[in-house]
Chains A and B, each alone.
Chain A
């Protein structure tokens, strides 16, 4: 696991590095003679961010469906919050990491910052709406100005996937359900064998106390103990600001004091929750897909409508329209007279399973030739 992650990060870094240097080259070139000034910039995403191409989106969708399916199976609702909060909402919540918050420029209005996690917005939401009980999941991107030199491969924009149960309940029942959910998700995703470690802040503190650790050193000793399983590589899937170990794919716990910090009357809403390490999971699934022989389809097209001869555009349009009206996922080439071979090649590349072939003779006979791409069998259908 460690080896794979290292190799992947290395390769990814190579690609990133190449892209960066190419971008610099283009920028230099663009400075020459500047045509009409149109091309004077570099084709790049911001540092620490990336596009998702269709293949990555297809993998991402599968992962989300599994995870959301599990949350829904447990009766969770979902909410969404804005990408930026009032700066003051985030102030004082993240300790040292506050310097990693992205601020928006002061353009004369409110001071704003991009959300750093989903937990503080959640606490704000609960307090703002005076909610005392909720079981909710929230999947969205968060933003941290990590220094890439320090922590290689870390993204500055990345998904967090949180599930939380807020409310006053009988001890440990919701806590147990959170662990059941982690178990279900990791099993269903088929990432391989896993282990969920459990401990308690009160046990840690109690242990430090009886071992003679001065109270003012509890936190710092705690973070040292935390390093027992750690190698600093990537991923920020932790619940709130926990640091995360290499193989970690989920983390969480009980946090009873946070919402009270937001409520004007200091009303407490006990919470327990978990954050799924979605970015790590994407990464693993992408590698698996790479390694596997199986093709990752980026579309769900079931039938391609093709012409065997020229001048059959009208018939193609009519047929594809009928298929769409019937709920069938279909497509056709945007050419009046495409070559049969090109159309069939497209099917093979895109993984489309069926082809509906229109031909002059078949039209006279009132049939359509239906071809199964994988077997190359053909049948005449009415």
Chain B
């Protein structure tokens, strides 16, 4: 019984903690966690029939989507998928887990973040970490050399939440890729056109798409005097320029990565440059940079890219930015990242989103990122056959977040159902008539519902309509039934019309199509 006393004490303490957190309006996740602990303690008492001995929680880093969030999510997906389809993309789906060996050796340091499945005597499996490696496997497995595909699905990363607040361990990725050997920069330009269309249509506010090229970066490092073995690590330092000031970035290069100040300063001159086709032309004439064949190739392609972007009418939002670095190893050519330029959109704790193409780190306002990666599929093909790819990953979780906040702030209601008509009874004993009418409406393709009560109160039924945002009510009443009519009420205006039963379906269709 000592144990029980201890538990009681623990419950008291935990209860106080929960109350305190609630009164301080602490963050919901934290409150939920402490409440869960409290429930667990309580469940240990007297243990009834052992039924309630566990905690009502989702796994750490995961969450349910409630109907409201699903409604918002659906709108976002429809816009994005609509854009992909407009560009003629197909879609595929792959399993949530892959053979462990398929994922091994593809993610560098981040491999420790992969979720493994327990060895239960069969194959060793891991949950997919992104959609790019499964894509490369799919291409190699099916010997596909050309495809334009999108893939929207959840991926899994065992991020440490203490390090990176608001990061989910299960989250959506939304990838679009064009695989195949084509003439330079045409598919690359289409990817940027797609990003531009999606971000415009979602109405997230002003945005900017930064563009650079891995060859220009590497060429720049070379001519500035960075030792080859430091390219990658310097690259990831440069990548921090969107979060840190140059002074701090330079400090890291010199103090942590061992570059001389002179070399760092030279890099500094280049990475501060931004522009359009004109900048690419200027740099092709740059004495130092033009010595790098690599950089010249990248610069020529940037020029070509911009000429295509002009024809596609998207240059207004695209900037050639030499500070764009993107952490991923497997990019071989053009790289890009889209950021929202409006600050104060209240991005809050869902800042660190994982929408990057594979494992890039992502800056605060980033909503999309990608680039060309010509070497990846070859890693999967037994003959090493290359399939050049270019693609983009849309930052879906960030976008959900923003849309949810907008919905919160706006007066407009988010409907969670699409019901057009509610069928109600004005008096008792009209269940049969309601069932008949709602059935006719369903058979006629109208979205309708009714209360699961034999004799519901009229007021409750009407209240439900207001809460759910249902625009029309079909009211059955004894007198109306005798007259062969149904009273159709418009919820927003409270107008009512007596409609002949035979004409009801047509009348409802007319009203709902006008809406």
Residues of A within 8 A of B (CB): 26, 29-30, 35, 38-39, 41-47, 49-54, 57-58, 72-86, 88-89, 91, 102-107, 109-110, 112, 114, 124-125, 127-129, 135-136, 141, 143, 145, 157, 165, 167, 169-170, 173-174, 176-177, 180, 184, 261-264, 266, 298-301, 313-314, 317-318, 321, 324-325, 327-331, 334-336, 350
Q: Could you list 11 further interchain pairs (A-B, Cβ under 8 angstroms) beyond the known A51-B94, A75-B417?
A: A35-B384, A52-B92, A72-B418, A74-B447, A74-B448, A83-B170, A105-B116, A173-B435, A298-B90, A299-B88, A300-B88
Q: Are A104 and B384 in contact (CB under 8 A)?
A: no
Q: Does B46 contact A (CB under 8 A)?
A: no
For B510, the chain A residues whose CB sits under 8 A away are none
Residue pairs across A and B with Cβ atoms less than 8 A apart, 30 shown, are A38-B384, A41-B99, A44-B141, A46-B123, A47-B122, A47-B123, A54-B90, A54-B92, A54-B149, A72-B418, A74-B448, A77-B416, A79-B64, A80-B70, A83-B96, A103-B117, A104-B117, A105-B116, A107-B158, A127-B56, A157-B96, A173-B454, A177-B452, A264-B39, A298-B90, A321-B313, A329-B88, A330-B86, A334-B182, A350-B88
Q: How far is the CA of A298 from the CA of B125 in the complex (A)?
A: 30
For B64, the chain A residues whose CB sits under 8 A away are 79-82, 125, 128-129
Instruction: List which B117-175 residues lie within 8 A (CB) of chain A.
Output: 117-120, 122-123, 125, 127, 137-138, 140-142, 148-149, 154, 156, 158, 170
Q: Does B253 contact A (CB under 8 A)?
A: no
Checking B63, B180, B313 against A325 with a beta-carbon cut-off of 8 angstroms, the contacting residue is B313
Q: Are A107 and B88 in contact (CB under 8 A)?
A: no
Q: How far is the CA of A52 from the CA of B152 in the complex (A)?
A: 13
For A157, the chain B residues whose CB sits under 8 A away are 95-97
Instruction: List which B308-330 residues lie within 8 A (CB) of chain A.
Output: 308, 311-313
Q: Are B96 and A141 in contact (CB under 8 A)?
A: yes
Q: Does B344 contact A (CB under 8 A)?
A: no
Question: Smallest Cβ distance from B190 to chain A, in angstroms?
Answer: 8
Which residue of A is nearest B50, CB measured? Answer: A92
Q: Are B57 and A128 in contact (CB under 8 A)?
A: yes
Instruction: List which B32-52 residues lie within 8 A (CB) of chain A.
Output: 39, 42-43, 48, 51-52
Decide yes or no: A41 and B92 within 8 Å by CB, A73-B442, A84-B62 being known contacts. Answer: no
Number of interchain pairs (Cβ within 8 Å) = 244
Decide yes or no: A49 and B86 within 8 Å by CB, A170-B453, A180-B442 being known contacts. Answer: no
Q: Are B62 and A82 in contact (CB under 8 A)?
A: yes
Q: Are A334 and B91 in contact (CB under 8 A)?
A: no
For A136, the chain B residues whose CB sits under 8 A away are 67
Which residue of B is nearest A100, CB measured? Answer: B120
For A77, the chain B residues whose CB sits under 8 A away are 67, 70-71, 416-417
Q: Does B21 contact A (CB under 8 A)?
A: no
Q: Does B273 contact A (CB under 8 A)?
A: no
Q: Are B90 and A75 in contact (CB under 8 A)?
A: no
Q: Does B85 contact A (CB under 8 A)?
A: yes
Question: Smallest Cβ distance from A344 to chain B, in angstroms?
Answer: 16
Q: Are A73 and B445 in contact (CB under 8 A)?
A: yes
Q: Are A72 and B447 in contact (CB under 8 A)?
A: yes
